[in-house]
Amino acid sequence: MLNPYYGNEDSNSDNELVSIPGQSLSELATQMPTVVVENSSDIRIGPHLQYNGPVTVKQYITVNGKEEIKSSSDDVYHDIATSGLQPLDVIGKNVVLRDCTNEQLDSENQAWLRNRYVWSAVAVVLLVAIIVSLAVTLPGAEYETVTPIKTSKIQFLLEHDYVDVYEGYKSVQWFVNVKAPSKPKLVWYGPDCEVLEERDGPSSYKVYTSPDGKTTKLKINNILLKDRGLYRLQARTKDDEDWAYITLNVKSMKPLENQHVTMCYMAEWAYYRQGLGKFTIDDIVPTLCSHVVYAFAALNVNENSIESMIPEYDLEDNNGTGAYKKVTSLKEKYPHLKVLLGMGGWKERIEKNYSVVAESPTRRKAFVRSVSDFLRKYNFDGLDFHWQYPAEQHGVPADKMNFVHLLKELREEFDKFGWLLTAPLGVIPDTIEQSFDIPAISRYLDYMFAMCYSYHHHDEGQTGPNAPLYPLHPDDERNVESSISILLDKGVPRDKLVLALPMYGRIFKMNHAGEPVGFGIPAVEGQRGSYVQGDGMWGYNEICYEVDNPLSNWVKRWDNVTHTPYAYKDDQFMSYDNVASITEKVKLALKKKLAGVMIWSLDMDDFRGSCTFGKSGSAVYPLLRAINNALDPTMSWNKVPCNSSTVA
């Protein structure tokens, strides 16, 4: 199995390998022979045991040779990796997992790893019995399976096959367990297909393989940009050969000049979603973003000031979570990262009147002072002023120019501290015309987000594409290509225009089930998902778990006109984006020479990696990774063996 120890000084010595059976709860580093979960509202058996509280969890653990029981009650989602654990019993809402390995582990200095092979090793009869039992006792449960990365006679047991670090990182190391009919010869190859051996230098390699050929380790010290690429492990016996692939992405620590930005929104309210939908600051992978935008702060109209929207989550006061501090502290470990505070958003559009602050010089002055104090207090790098949109909803025509005045005054204050100032741009032609003086606001904004999604929804009474790349018909301007062209024609500088892309889709309920299916079918709002609970909106983490599940009955299609996927099941119709459609949109941004890409939002991508369904590949953030790979094509390495045509 494979695990990156990011420069952990307490990890094994270079020539010591330990076979590791499983992964404990985050606060434990001890062997877990038995786990009992009782009275859960939702249990999933798969690569992880996943359950929702409130539950009683009984953890039978071995500590220093003695078995102890630790019990706790909680009301939040939990996740125990089931590696090395075999499901023995499922009764009602209770699940018992018991350790099926004999290895003992020195828990003092070890990080736990999940054994992805365990489900393939479980006997067929046992698997059938579990599935039948679950089907009877838990009719609402969903199931996952995890298989080894290969299915030939040689198998590689590993977890992470994609690792992000920054140049200058101290070290990265991986362990791979190899299962073969006979002792294999193991050879590591670098990105240039050169054989990796012990080597000192600016970045050094350490390679160790156990005498029996069952376990191998590669460690790279003092990471450089040139170390990034696809690493290959060859396993060869007398009669068989196979390869494992590991991607190391090394990013530059240099400033962002001449680099494309990847602006990643996170919705603070996602912390309160249920089950696998719950998102925390710890779920952010900072190496995949150049900027994180924390959404949203609110406007206090009476005080002409900015304020927290969810104080108990944002702030530390009164035993709050302190998310503001947590998200800005990411910069300590990732100095490349800029963290902006978003203010406004759709909810504020409905509830607040930004016009009354923007129209008054006195109110604007107080507002700018409040924002400045707020950003300094919580260590943000700027403000995303997310007024959707001037002169709309509660607005007045004068908003168009008052917005310019407000941005100008914010800019003057922000220049004192080197802060960034960004704002969204509506992409419907009428909105562009009535809300924005493009040349004027371009002088004061660092980046402008072209909000290229939610072009169609159920309120129109028919199915439609959420984010079409190209028009449905020749006169259709509700698509990404047309929106970007209009904004550029209006004078938005290319180096300030950022293409905003959705990590969500739209669901419709068609007036009939089955064919004909496509865009333009009479429909109303479809069923609600499990996490986002939005108005006809599903996060990609919900969509992929449904439509990509081989056990589901969703039918997936590709629309050649809009270059977007859709799926349907009975009378439910889903318009969404996948890796292919997102990649095409990013390529359009590159072709148009835009500043980069923004996503709404991190918490709706598959940030837990729930949708692999046994396939090998990078599990977490598939859409965001696709964006990164498209912005930097050198990261899109082909997984091919090193042979006479590829070896340097």
Q: Choose between 498 and 512: higher pLDDT.
A: 498
Alpha helices in 361-443 (DSSP H): 361-378, 399-414, 429-435, 438-442
Same domain, 237 and 331: no
Same domain, 116 and 160: no
Residue 481 falls inside a structural domain: yes
The predicted model scores a pTM of: 0.72
Q: Please tell me the distance from the alpha carbon of residue 399 to that of residue 397, in angstroms, as a whole number.
A: 5
Q: Which of 214, 230, 251 is the last residue of a domain?
A: 251
Same domain, 451 and 308: yes
Same domain, 247 and 115: no
Same domain, 89 and 200: no
Q: Is residue 54 within 8 Å of 75, Cβ to Cβ? A: yes
The per-residue pLDDT for range 359-401, each reduced to its tens digit, is: 999 999 999 999 999 999 999 999 999 999 999 988 999 999 9
Q: Please tell me the distance from the alpha carbon of residue 184 to that of residue 182, in angstroms, as a whole number.
A: 6
Place of tokens 């791979």: 176
> Which H/E stretch holds residue 484?
helix 480-490
501 pLDDT band, cuts 50/70/90, is very high
Q: Is residue 386 within 8 Å of 424, Cβ to Cβ? A: yes
Same domain, 469 and 616: yes
Residue 7 falls inside a structural domain: no
User: Total domain count for the chain?
Assistant: 3
Residue 542 falls inside a structural domain: no
Same domain, 240 and 388: no
Same domain, 440 and 481: yes
Spatial neighbors of 449 by CB under 8 A, at least 6 apart, are 263, 422, 423, 424, 425, 498, 500, 598
In this prediction, residues 578-606 reach a mean pLDDT of: 98
Same domain, 159 and 199: yes
Q: How far is CA 2 from CA 219, 304, 445, 512, in A?
A: 12, 53, 44, 48
615 pLDDT band, cuts 50/70/90, is low
Exposed / middle / buried, residue 341 (Cβ in 10 Å: 0-12, 13-18, 19+): buried
Give the tokens for residue 175.
Answer: 């362990």
- Residue 326's domain is classified under what CATH number? 3.20.20.80
Same domain, 230 and 303: no
* Cβ count near 223 (within 10 Å): 22
Reference 117, options 88, 151, 87, 140; nearest CA is 151
In this prediction, residues 476-497 reach a mean pLDDT of: 98
Q: Which of 229, 251, 273 is the last residue of a domain?
A: 251
Exposed / middle / buried, residue 296 (Cβ in 10 Å: 0-12, 13-18, 19+): buried
Residue 300 falls inside a structural domain: yes
> Which H/E stretch holds residue 351?
helix 346-351
Q: Is residue 46 within 8 Å of 87, Cβ to Cβ? A: no
Same domain, 46 and 106: yes
The per-residue pLDDT for range 8-22, each reduced to its tens digit, is: 333 334 443 333 233
* Cβ count near 513 (within 10 Å): 12
- Residue 211's domain is classified under what CATH number? 2.60.40.10
Residue 11 falls inside a structural domain: no
131 pLDDT band, cuts 50/70/90, is very low
Q: Which of 251, 276, 311 is the last residue of a domain?
A: 251
User: 205: domain range?
Assistant: 155-251
Give the tokens for residue 109.
Answer: 């200095």
Same domain, 193 and 240: yes
In this prediction, residues 475-501 reach a mean pLDDT of: 98
In this prediction, residues 260-282 reach a mean pLDDT of: 97
Residue 566 falls inside a structural domain: no
The predicted structure's pLDDT at residue 256: 55
Place of tokens 């990471």: 223
The predicted structure's pLDDT at residue 11: 38
Q: Which residues pair with 510 in a beta bridge?
A: 523
The predicted structure's pLDDT at residue 636: 65
Residue 277 falls inside a structural domain: yes
Residue 507 falls inside a structural domain: no
DSSP 424-449: EE--SHHHHHHH--HHHHHTT-SEEE
Q: How far is CA 130 from CA 21, 45, 135, in A?
A: 22, 9, 8
Exposed / middle / buried, residue 405 (Cβ in 10 Å: 0-12, 13-18, 19+): middle
Rounded to 5 degrees, what angle do the CA atoms 421, 422, 427 make? 160
Sign of CA dihedral 8, 11, 17, 18: negative
